């Protein structure tokens, strides 16, 4: 069976699309990892700052009511920081998810367009190759029959 070069560009473009998609996913993973790391550091630094403030206030508070007030203030700050962090992460992940969906939709659309344009050509080449294989098989069968007689 002979190799038909007409099919190569279609498969090459499909391979290029897959490589491009893999690279996009790698970059996305890298960006998400850096973002999550930076956000984690930001949150930790903020909490360390608030903890330091609470420790300072505890040293200067008056009696049990003052200590309870410092503790309640620290707890309120913790909840506020935690909720703010969750909102930041959720917003960023929503943005990332939107970008991923938009990118995937665009890539799929490009691939569908390419397949629609090149599909008939690929089908024609495949049909020719199947026809050629059938002819070669018929020739082999004819040869075998002739040598058996």
In whole numbers, what is the pLDDT of the chain averaged over residues? 80
Neighbouring C-beta atoms of residue 81, cutoff 10 Å: 16
On whether residue 2 sits in a domain, the answer given is: no
Write out pLDDT tens, residues 34-80: 988 999 999 999 999 999 999 999 999 889 999 999 999 999 999 99
On whether residue 1 sits in a domain, the answer given is: no
On whether residue 27 sits in a domain, the answer given is: yes
* pLDDT bracket for residue 6 (50, 70, 90): low
- d(CA 122, CA 112) in angstroms, rounded, equals 14
Is the pLDDT at 9 greater than 70? The verdict is: no
* The two three-digit tokens of residue 99, written as one number: 């970008």
CB 114 within 8 A of CB 15: no
> What Å distances lie between residue 140 and 27, 77, 148, CA to CA?
53, 84, 12
Q: Give the sign of the dihedral formed by CA 52, CA 53, CA 56, CA 58.
A: negative
- d(CA 19, CA 34) in angstroms, rounded, equals 23
> Is the overall model pTM greater than 0.75, yes or no?
no
On whether residue 116 sits in a domain, the answer given is: yes
On whether residue 61 sits in a domain, the answer given is: yes
On whether residue 58 sits in a domain, the answer given is: yes
**Number of domains within the chain:** 1
10 Å CB burial of residue 3 (0-12, 13-18, 19+) is exposed
10 Å CB burial of residue 61 (0-12, 13-18, 19+) is middle
Task: Give the contacts of 24 (CB within 8 A, at least 6 positions apart).
Answer: 103
106: containing domain: 9-148
Is the pLDDT at 7 greater than 70? The verdict is: no
């Amino acid at each position: 069976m002979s190799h038909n070069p007409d099919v190569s560009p279609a498969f090459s473009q499909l391979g290029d699309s897959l490589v491009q998609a893999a690279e996009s996913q790698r970059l996305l993973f890298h960006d998400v990892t850096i973002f999550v790391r930076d956000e984690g550091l930001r949150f930790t630094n903020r909490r360390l700052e608030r903890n330091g403030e609470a420790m300072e206030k505890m040293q200067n508070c008056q009696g049990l009511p003052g200590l309870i007030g410092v503790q309640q203030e620290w707890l309120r700050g913790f909840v506020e920081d935690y909720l703010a962090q969750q909102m930041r992460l959720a917003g960023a992940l929503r943005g990332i998810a939107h970008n991923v969906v938009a990118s995937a939709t665009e890539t799929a659309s490009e691939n569908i367009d390419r397949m629609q344009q090149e599909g008939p050509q690929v089908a024609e080449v495949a049909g020719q190759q199947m026809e050629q294989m059938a002819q070669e098989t018929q020739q082999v069968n004819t040869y075998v029959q002739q040598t058996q007689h």
